[in-house]
Amino acid sequence: MSVTFCSRKTFLLVAFALFCTSARAQTAVPQNATVSSNHYKDTGMGPATGRAGNATVNARALYAKDGSTLVELTTGQLDSSATAPGNLDKVQFKPLDQNGNALYSQNFNGLTAGGHYGMTTNVLHHTEQLQLQTNVSGIDKRTDVVTVVETVKLRPDLAVLGLTNPNKAVVNQPVVISATLRELNGEVGATTTCTLYVNGTPVDQAYSVWVDAAGTVSCSFTQTFAATGIYSLQISGENVVPADWDTANNSTTGAIEIDPSAVHLNYSATFYDTSSDLPPSFAHGIIRHQDLLNS
């Protein structure tokens, strides 16, 4: 059976609403709306930051479910597509013991990848500290030496929970379909693309949705269905940045039955009171198809 979908997206961000519709409907955006990618709150453990001269280095170490740790340093912003300024010529890697003493050091020299460097290692553990010393050129006339101490954090674990929608609806009538996005590991927030699927086909998306560490966000879509039938529904959190701890909990599913469009049935009735001399009363009206569904 071929089906046709029409959609209009509504995305809720904590106490604020963002209506993502066509350009013609932008006048409907409420005054308190905020862009979904804005950090409405960021209580997670941020990256370590160091500075020398005009050079600033942000460093982050994220521990994954498989036991590996991604260590990243940048003279720009982490998770940004913008080109970071200058060049990281050298990175010195020193894991620290509980007293802050270096267990060993490892040098990475002759780097030419610009203002960003990343390495994956299996020698670190959650909450371990490491010292990262970098030589930065191309920002000041001299080479700047920047030192940061970073703590290994858990990757964000974004879960998509509790798909909510009516069991039944009618053709060409808007239906609200929503789910809850929750970060479970409680240390680092993440952005994601919230996607609605109908019968396995993506029909609507909310991009760059920010979910704070241990935070909860609602993702809602307004969908219309142009044909009758039973439709499978799915809302997924995709393209999680930083990469997700566990992708197995990134979707929630459900179903909806779409019935024929509204049918109006006329009725009339006359009521008599045999104990009174008053004339009979008369009532008339329309029974809607939706009333029948709800009865």
Beta strand 190-198 with 201-211 is antiparallel
DSSP-assigned letter for residue 292 = H
Interatomic CA distance for residues 86 and 108, integer angstroms: 17
Tens-place pLDDT, residues 21-64: 222 223 345 555 556 667 778 899 999 999 999 999 999 999 99
What does DSSP say about strands 153-154 and 265-271: parallel, antiparallel, or unpaired? unpaired
Q: How far apart are CA 163 and CA 177, in angstroms?
A: 7
Q: Identify the three-state secondary structure at position 96.
A: strand
The fourth-level CATH superfamily of domain 48-154 is: Immunoglobulins (2.60.40.10)
Is residue 289 predicted with pLDDT exceeding 90? no
Q: Tell me if residue 274 falls in helix, strand or coil.
A: coil
Residue, of 284 and 209, whose pLDDT is higher: 209
Scanning the chain, the segments in alpha helix (DSSP H) are 289-294
CA distance 76 to 65: 27
Q: Is the dihedral of CA 286, 290, 291, 295 positive or negative?
A: positive
Looking at the DSSP bridge assignments, the partners of residue 10 are: 19, 220
pLDDT given at position 41: 82
**CATH 2.60.40.10 occupies which residues in the chain?**
5-35+157-259, 48-154
Decide: helix, strand or coil at residue 28: helix
Which CATH number is associated with domain 5-35+157-259? 2.60.40.10
Pairing mode, if any, of strands 87-95 and 106-108? antiparallel
Q: How many helices (H) and strands (E) does the chain have?
A: 1, 21
Predicted TM-score (pTM) of this structure: 0.78
Rounded Cα–Cα distance for residues 21 and 11 (Å): 10
- What does the alpha-carbon distance between residue 146 and residue 116 come to, in Å, rounded to a whole number? 14
Bridging pattern class, strands 190-198 and 281-287: unpaired
Tell me how far apart the alpha carbons of residues 22 and 36 are, in angstroms, rounded to a whole number.
16
| Model confidence pLDDT, tens digit, residues 65-96 | 999 999 999 999 999 999 999 999 999 999 99
Q: Mean pLDDT across the chain, nearest whole number? A: 85
pLDDT digit string, tens, across residues 193-224: 999 999 999 999 999 999 999 999 999 999 99
For the residues 104-126, what does the mean pLDDT come to?
Answer: 96
User: Within its chain, how far is the Cα of 257 from the centroid?
Assistant: 27
Split at pLDDT 50, 70, 90, the class of 177 is very high
Tokens 């009206």 belong to which residue? 285
The phi and psi torsions of 239 (rounded to 5 degrees) equal 50, 50
Residues 117-174: pLDDT tens digits?
Answer: 999 999 999 999 999 999 999 999 999 999 999 999 999 999 999 999 999 999 999 9
The pLDDT score that the predictor gives to residue 7 is 44
What pLDDT does residue 19 have? 28
**What is the per-residue pLDDT for 271?**
57
CB 132 within 8 A of CB 90: no
